Amino acid sequence: MGGVTERTDGARGDGESFDQLCALVAAGGVVALSGAGISTDSGIPDYRGPNGALRRHTPMTYQDFVGAPGARHRYWARSHAGWRQIAEAFPNAGHHALARLEQAGVVTGLITQNVDGLHQRAGSRNVVDLHGRLSRVMCPDCGQQSTRRELDARLRAANPDLEVADAPTNPDGDMALSDSDVARFVMVGCATCGGDRLEPDVVFFGATVPRPRLARAIALVESAQALLILGSSLAVMSGYRFVLRAAELGVPVAIVNQGPTRGDGRAVVRVDAPLGSVLPRLADALVERGTAAQAG
């Protein structure tokens, strides 16, 4: 494998670590894994950062969602409120820079733990939505799929007087609501069969990633020349497994994240700096370098 072979501290995002990051990515064949940290500049909080959602919010598990109608009702009430902020979010400089790196041919694939769809909106094409997408809804009774915007329109019609307080939205689209707001929220059923068990097309905490999707993500890592971790603490096995697989294969791992990660000991390059500044700078450097090489 080409690229960097020595791990650097990079705690200040210094020039040496950035140059090594450039060298690793410039060699091409890079697969990126993004976490909630890449979407914070779009107004969507992460889970484990200084203001992370886990400090105020315990995500609902799939077991609670399917096993308790009251919990499912609460989820949809809070998600109906939070979805608006997710839907109105725009890709930030980090998303756009990563799309530029794919267009330049150095990033060959992207695995994202996020459910906001911002990578695709920024122009990334070869994306595996590891945990699904909030923009899709499924009915387990009839198998019908629909868009979240369609459901949102029906929920707005059913809840015309539901005023949503200005509260932080979590990465899973959940927004805090009062018990009284949850109680008066009216949920609608499937537009096709009328079933009352609609589910968002996301992987809940406690659920597993669908096997075909996981297989596609693993295949990307196994074909990579380098694995680039962006904005993930790797605290859960869902993301950390790819670092472990890369290590088994001898694929070098680079990590750009604010704060420590579970994978730091396995990284050959470690940059602790905001993605909104590192990724645009990286894209500028490599695109300019590629343009210069073509001109020469």
Q: Which residues are catalytic?
A: 131
Q: Is 191 annotated as a binding residue?
A: no
| Residue 91 known to bind ligand | no
35 assigned binding-site residue: yes
264 is in an annotated binding site: no
Q: Is 46 annotated as a binding residue?
A: yes
Annotated binding residue at 52?
yes
User: Known binder of ligand: residue 233?
Assistant: yes
What is the Cα–Cα distance from 226 to 62, expressed in whole angstroms? Answer: 33
Reading the block at residue 242, the tokens are 């790819």
What is the rounded distance in angstroms from the CA atom of residue 193 to the CA atom of residue 110? 36
Is 231 part of any known ligand binding site?
Answer: yes
Give SS3 for 291.
Answer: helix
What strands, in cross-sheet order, belong to the sheet with 127-129?
Answer: 127-129, 107-112, 30-34, 226-230, 253-256, 269-271
Q: Would you say 250 is a known binding-site residue?
A: no
47 is in an annotated binding site: yes
DSSP 33-102: EE-GGGSGGGT---SSSTT-GGGT--PPBHHHHHH-HHHHHHHHHHHHHHHHHHHT----HHHHHHHHHH
Q: Confirm or deny that 42 is annotated as ligand binding.
A: yes
Q: Where are the beta strands (DSSP E) in the chain?
A: 30-34, 107-112, 127-129, 132-138, 145-147, 199-202, 226-230, 253-256, 269-271
Q: 142: annotated binding-site residue?
A: yes
3-state class of 30 per DSSP?
A: strand
Task: Establish whether 162 is an annotated binding residue.
Answer: no
**Does 22 show up as a binding residue in the annotation?**
no
Cβ atoms 46, 274 nearer than 8 A? no
Looking at residue 128, its amino acid is V
Q: Mention every residue, 6+ apart, whose C-beta is less than 8 A from residue 167.
A: 81, 175, 176, 177
Q: Check whether 190 is labelled as a binding-site residue.
A: yes
Flag whether 44 is marked binding: yes
The answer to whether the annotation marks 59 as part of a ligand binding site is no
Helix/strand/coil percentages in the chain, nearest 5 = 45, 15, 40
Radius of gyration (Cα) for the chain, nearest Å?
A: 20
Q: Which residues are annotated as a binding site?
A: 35-55, 113-116, 139, 142, 190, 193, 231-233, 257-259, 275
- List binding-site positions for NAD(+): 35-55, 113-116, 231-233, 257-259, 275
* Residues that constitute the known binding site for Zn(2+): 139, 142, 190, 193
